Amino acid sequence: MKDSIGLDISKATIDAFRLKTAEVAQFPNSAAGLRSLHKWIGMQKPDLVVYEATGAYHAALERSLSGILPLVKVNPLQARRFAQARGKRAKTDAVDARILASMGAALDLSPDAPIEENRHALRELQVARMALIKERTRVLNRQKTQTLALVKRLSNGRLEQIKRELAEIEKALMSLLTASPRRKRAFDILCSIPGIGRVTAMAIIVECPEIGTLNRKQIASLAGLAPMTQQSGQWRGRALIQGGRKFLRDALYMPAIVSIRFNPDLSQKYRALTEAGKPAKVALTALMRKLLELANTLVHHDREWVPKTA
């Protein structure tokens, strides 16, 4: 049996369970608490330390112990389904920690790659940028019905402020990206692809740091762009895309539309799909997948995009 440790992480605490010894412990979710957790684990390094993705609450664990311990981040829904399959109905922090430890051993999970330097800072900046984009859209929509001069002036002022803040965030993002030679090279490669601009290239690298390290099926599944077959017995349903990283799909939507006009290879693919009777939305989703697969392949082979010669 693997020496697996399960961690249930909340805003205030981290509940731990070590499968091999059945030891339990609880620590504050703070810098001091993480040091105590590391000390509790001791010199005997476990095979796995399994925890659920919990938004901002697990970030401190990753920053402090990624690369030091064999961390494995799992989907909360998958962990819950595993608990239900084992007949566990109760849901407490201690029970969840035990389930996560058992899940790591039973499913023979593998440790994640260590988190890259500045990964959390990049992600935080990207989240702040997306929030500003949404706010800009809301202000622009409100402007359409505003009639008072004062309200219009305030809206215009807020739009100018958002513009300045976006420029500042994008400058910080670019600074962090270029600080890493690997990320800088991936950025240059992505920008060489027709349809992908600087902002989209930054979003892809932030949302998909695995770019260039996966095969075409894995990268499509990661983004939730791989069609999932629906069938049972004689019944055959329509293949659907589901799951994956929504922000990554969002980042690919506009580049796919632009590619229809400016990327000859993808434009030809889009025409072939629509002429074969595929709905425009299905064809566009296929283009998003092809665009991501192309980006992944080019980064993997460390070469920029060049047009096909006749």
Q: Which residues of 34-58 are buried (b: 16+ CB within 10 A; e: fewer)?
A: bebbeeebeeeebbbbbbbebeebb
pTM of the model: 0.77
Q: How far is CA 102 from CA 78, 98, 107, 152, 307, in A?
A: 13, 6, 8, 58, 51
For tokens 């589901």, name the residue. 242
pLDDT the model gives residue 309:
62
pLDDT for 27-62, tens place per residue?
999 999 999 999 999 888 899 999 998 878 888 898
- Phi, psi for 15 (deg, rounded to 5): -95, 130
Question: pLDDT per residue over 214-234, tens digit each?
Answer: 888 888 888 888 766 566 666
Query: What per-residue string of b and e applies to 267-301 under the rule 16 or more CB within 10 Å gives b?
Result: bebbeebeeeeeeeebbbbbbbbbbbbbbbebbbe
Closest to 190 in 3D by CA, of 219, 218, 220, 212: 212
> In this structure, what DSSP letter does residue 228 have?
B
